[in-house]
């Protein structure tokens, strides 16, 4: 049973006052990541403070994106709170599909939200979603396997070093693979990883005239490098692996390196879940010497769809779940290493958190990602691992299928890129670019 933790008096009073006399039952759609599962286990604290009950709809990442997008574009009204990110929030906020969060009380301290997160979840300075946690991506690696390979991980490695180390650490007979990377098709799965990686290789989705660039040599270099590396040093069936699958592989000791969300650091270092918890090191996402690292910028955030009949209760939930007090609640129950990272500046000033082994690298990774200047050559879009246009999710979902097929050996890299170029060109022309 989770221990009870009292919110600060100011916040508790604010939540109770906002709730008025009537208790509601709100429905929340969220992703099946560990931090969200943990939040569900602590929801009694919210109910105790406000009287409101919560019904959870917990979905795999690709399914969540599809469900909430369909619901909000059709005004389906299934959810009172949605878990969305930096791609959807500015587009949906601008369209008037989200309730602005411009009236949060002073004690919530919205100014404490990291500027990178606040900026990515705002439209014209107005916040439309509050970050539950923020992330970039970084390398998580087995220190023991790196040492056995006779190598030492630099703090800021190149892709060439990562490839060398991955091949050196691989022992397929023992079920150990030098590197685990996303291969599951999806704009937020393999394409998030590959778009960020492509930035480091000098590739881009579109040139300044919105012409697709998959027929350029930088994309071929990116995809060939990835497919060859995964064939040599990756696990079998990698085209089926997303965040959760690779997390499980790493925790079981089957991955020498994993390049993925910084938020995973608390899970791979948790001895209750990870067999290699005491053998994990961290480094910045790799580059190729062209001035861009392959790390993304993202926040899983909570937003309220316009038209909900339970706006006040939904705001109370968001205020509770993204507050400083919630961080303290998790710390009391799970320890400081397991609090939601990357959302608030005050967390990185907290003496209880400063010595967490991955805290510094997480913050450095977040601060180094620049969504307004993500690529080596200029681009007309904003976004590190996505292009912030409404058409991107649909296009990248299709491209992700082609790239996953190349990884699975069902087609060549050249065939995948040719199909990506053709379908992206068709979709962009249809959209009027």
pLDDT at 83 over 50: yes
Task: Tell the residue number behind the tokens 């100014």, with chain if given.
Answer: 111
For residue 70, give both structure tokens: 């369909």
Q: How confident is the model at residue 15 (pLDDT cuts 50, 70, 90)?
A: low
Kindly report, residue by residue over 247-285, the tens digit of the pLDDT: 999 999 999 999 999 999 999 999 999 999 999 999 999
Q: Which helix (H) or strand (E) element contains residue 59?
A: strand 53-59
Q: What is the pLDDT of residue 9?
A: 41
Question: What is the reported pTM?
Answer: 0.88
Please, which residues have CB within 8 angstroms of residue 164's CB and are 6 or more apart in sequence? 151
First to last CA, the chain: 55
Q: What is the pLDDT of residue 294?
A: 86
Kindly report, residue by residue over 344-378, the tens digit of the pLDDT: 999 999 999 988 999 999 999 999 999 989 999 99
Kindly report, residue by residue over 298-316, the tens digit of the pLDDT: 999 999 999 999 999 999 9
Q: How confident is the model at residue 394 (pLDDT cuts 50, 70, 90)?
A: very high
Q: Which helix (H) or strand (E) element contains residue 91?
A: helix 88-94
Q: How confident is the model at residue 6 (pLDDT cuts 50, 70, 90)?
A: very low
Taking phi over 0 as left and psi of -120 to 50 as alpha, with beta for the rest, 281 belongs to beta
Q: How far apart (Å, rounded) are the C-alpha atoms in residues 62 and 90?
A: 19
pLDDT at 19 over 70: no
Q: How far apart (Å, rounded) are the C-alpha atoms in residues 328 and 365?
A: 24
Closest by Cα among 295, 280, 288 to 163: 288
pLDDT at 11 over 90: no
Q: How far apart (Å, rounded) are the C-alpha atoms in residues 11 and 150?
A: 53
For residue 147, give both structure tokens: 């040492």
Task: Answer whether 81's CB lies under 8 Å from 304's CB.
Answer: yes
Residue 195: count of CB within 10 angstroms of its CB: 27
Closest by Cα among 256, 264, 273 to 137: 264
- DSSP letter at 341 equals P
Q: How far apart (Å, rounded) are the C-alpha atoms in residues 263 and 406?
A: 28
Q: What is the mean pLDDT of residues 149-168?
A: 97
pLDDT at 57 over 80: yes
Q: Measuring CA to CA, how many Å separate 381 from each of 180, 277, 371, 412?
A: 29, 39, 9, 29
Average pLDDT, the chain: 94
Taking phi over 0 as left and psi of -120 to 50 as alpha, with beta for the rest, 220 belongs to alpha
């Amino acid at each position: 049973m989770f221990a009870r933790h009292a919110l600060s008096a100011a916040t508790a009073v604010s939540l109770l006052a906002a709730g008025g006399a009537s208790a509601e039952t709100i429905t929340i759609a969220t992703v099946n990541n560990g931090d969200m599962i943990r939040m569900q286990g602590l929801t009694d604290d919210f109910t105790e403070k406000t009287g409101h009950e919560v019904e959870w709809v917990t979905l795999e990442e690709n399914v969540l994106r599809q469900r909430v997008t369909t619901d909000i574009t059709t005004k389906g009204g299934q959810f009172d709170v949605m878990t969305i990110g930096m791609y959807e929030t500015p587009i949906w906020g601008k369209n008037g599909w989200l309730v602005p969060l411009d009236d949060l009380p002073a004690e919530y301290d919205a100014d404490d939200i990291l500027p990178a997160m606040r900026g990515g979840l705002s439209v014209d300075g107005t916040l439309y979603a509050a970050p539950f946690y923020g992330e970039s991506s970084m390398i998580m690696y087995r220190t023991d396997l790196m040492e056995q390979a006779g190598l030492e991980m630099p703090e800021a490695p190149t892709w060439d070093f990562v490839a060398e180390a991955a091949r050196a650490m691989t022992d397929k007979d023992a079920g150990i693979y030098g590197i685990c990377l996303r291969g599951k098709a999806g704009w937020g799965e393999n394409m998030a990883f590959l778009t960020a990686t492509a930035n480091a290789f000098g590739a881009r989705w579109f040139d300044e005239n919105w012409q697709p660039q998959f027929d350029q040599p930088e994309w071929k270099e990116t995809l060939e490098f990835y497919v060859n590396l995964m064939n040599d040093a990756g696990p079998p069936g990698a085209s089926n692996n997303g965040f959760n699958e690779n997390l499980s592989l790493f925790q079981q000791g089957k991955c020498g390196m994993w390049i993925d969300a910084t938020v995973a650091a608390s899970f791979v270092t948790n001895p209750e879940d990870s067999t290699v918890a005491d053998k994990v090191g961290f480094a910045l996402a790799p580059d190729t010497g062209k001035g861009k690292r392959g790390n993304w910028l993202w926040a899983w955030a909570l937003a309220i769809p316009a038209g909900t009949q339970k706006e006040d209760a939904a705001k109370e939930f968001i205020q509770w779940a993204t507050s400083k007090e919630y961080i303290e609640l998790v710390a009391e129950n799970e320890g400081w290493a397991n609090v939601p990272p990357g959302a608030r500046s005050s967390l990185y000033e907290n003496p209880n958190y400063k010595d967490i082994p991955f805290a510094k690298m997480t913050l450095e990774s977040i601060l180094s990602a620049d969504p307004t200047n993500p690529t080596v050559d200029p681009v007309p879009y904003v976004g590190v691992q996505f292009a912030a246009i409404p058409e991107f999710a649909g296009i990248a979902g299709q491209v992700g299928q082609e790239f996953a097929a190349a990884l699975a050996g069902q087609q060549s890299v050249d065939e995948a890129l040719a199909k990506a170029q053709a379908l992206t060109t068709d979709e962009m022309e249809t959209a009027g670019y």
